[in-house]
Amino acid sequence: MTNNKTILRFLTSGNVDDGKSTFLGRLLYDSDAIYDDQLRDARTGEEIDFSLLLDGLEDEREQKITIDVAYRYFNSNKRKFIVADAPGHEEYTANMAVAAANSDLAILLIDISKGIKAQTIRHFYIASLYGIKDFIIAINKLDLVKFSEAEFLKLKTEFHNETLGLFPEVNFNYVPIASKSGDNIVRKGSNMPWYDGKTIIELLESIEPKTDAADSTRYLVQYVSKTDEGRILRGKLLAGELQVGDEVIVSPGNKRAKVKNIIDEGDDKIIRAGQSSALILDQEYDISRGYIIAKDDNLPQVADHFFSYITWFGKENFDPNKQYLVKLNHNWLRARFAKPDFLIDAARHNDNYELSDLKANNIFYTKVEIEREVAFDLFYQGQVSGAFLISDPYSNESLGCGIISDAKQTARADNSGIDGDLAAFVQEVKQLGEKHFGVDKQELINNLLTNFEVTNENRK
């Protein structure tokens, strides 16, 4: 019998000591996803310390904290799950950011007895920044306030007011829970009859995983070999669908071709999203690792620079005068970074305060210049093709990661006739508009720039 269960990747986050490990241990225990030896290690007499089911590192057990992101796997009757348990301390912010970039949903825990902390808002901000749209706000330890509905509603309102307007497209689901007794995690329990919403597991089974560039076709080339039949392109289809006869565009270069053959995909000759396969085009183009094959309805960006949010986790401070290596869509590229435009202070909802030395766990926004033009997506259009890794060119140490938020080409693909200097001026106007009018006025700014470009074209 074929197993057609979908997979949901979710993140557990929140301030330190808000009960993430106990919550997740209880979730796994009540879902029958704990091995007997794990259960034996977590027993203290007749009691079970659910947090010990998660904190596998010796240092974590001694300090009673989660240091690294711990990944766990379990099933329910309806779905498979991959869980990333993120550390709560501020110094491990980078770990949490990387986990968020690979998650469909976030469970944000809040200890009702302690209220909302700076790290609570920081984790919400970072998870939203890295593409998570669905949140379960698990207000924990209701047993400490005698399972009070009034206390739950008070904290729910406070969190809503704290996050109001930060990310308008985010969806919230508020659930009152008590991790020790398991109320509203897998089972309802009898302590909160006033709550008529879904349990945590019911929400995890019902919220749909996010899609990556759902309306686009993205085939990322990883390897090219030559045969008598032609160049065989081997790679992975990130999104969309490809079949023999489809017209495609190869980027960079905007080279048109048709899919001539698909290898080892059965009689239907179709590649579907998530599959790694090999294909042959009807044109002998010079294609190499890192090229993107797409359909004409939605092409990737092509440029030698872009604007990005950087999460820094290197031991040494970020140096804008130093050359780094960037790994973007299988391309290893020499890169230089402009002086950051601003540093994100997620806990204060502030992205424009004074810059200081940029060190581990800082998040900042800057322009990235790479050695040649490559194809990529904006992160919110394609999370695989719109993210990159930063490495030291000498030690190969991983120093940070980035998500691409905007890109402007010096030579415009639409041949509008605006040269490099004018394109740079347009970008400068856009940045000034964002600074003084805010992102909510972006449509007005774009209309202004469009009128400028049209006027410039008419003068030629």
**All structural domains of the chain with their residue ranges:** 6-206, 218-294, 305-407, 420-460
Lowest average pLDDT, out of 22-26, 56-60, 354-358, 361-365, goes to 56-60
Q: Domain spanning 305-407 has what CATH number?
A: 2.40.30.10
Can you give the pTM of this predicted structure?
0.72
Four-residue CA torsion sign, 11, 17, 23, 24: positive
The CATH number, out of the four listed (3.40.1170.60, 3.30.160.150, 3.40.50.300, 3.60.40.10), of the domain defined by the range 6-206: 3.40.50.300
Q: Distance from first CA to last CA of the chain, Å, rounded? A: 67
Q: Inform me whether the pLDDT recorded for 247 exceeds 70.
A: yes
Beta bridge partners of 106: 11, 135
Map residue 296 onto helix, strand or coil.
coil
Tell me, yes or no, if the two domains 218-294 and 305-407 fold the same way: yes
Q: How confident is the model at residue 84 (pLDDT cuts 50, 70, 90)?
A: confident
The CATH superfamily label for domain 218-294 reads Translation factors (2.40.30.10)
Each residue's pLDDT tens digit, 124-169: 988 888 889 999 999 999 999 999 999 999 999 999 998 887 788 8
Distance CA 16, CA 137 (A): 15
- 38 vs 418, more confident: 38
Task: Classify 48 as helix, strand or coil.
Answer: strand
When pLDDT is cut at 50, 70 and 90, the band that residue 348 belongs to is: low
- The contacts of residue 334 (CB under 8 Å, 6+ apart) are 323, 324, 325, 326, 370, 371, 393
Q: What is the per-residue pLDDT across 379-430, written as a single tens digit (0 to 9) for each?
A: 888 878 899 999 999 998 888 889 998 876 433 333 333 343 444 444 454 4
Q: What mean pLDDT comes out for the span 210-217?
A: 64
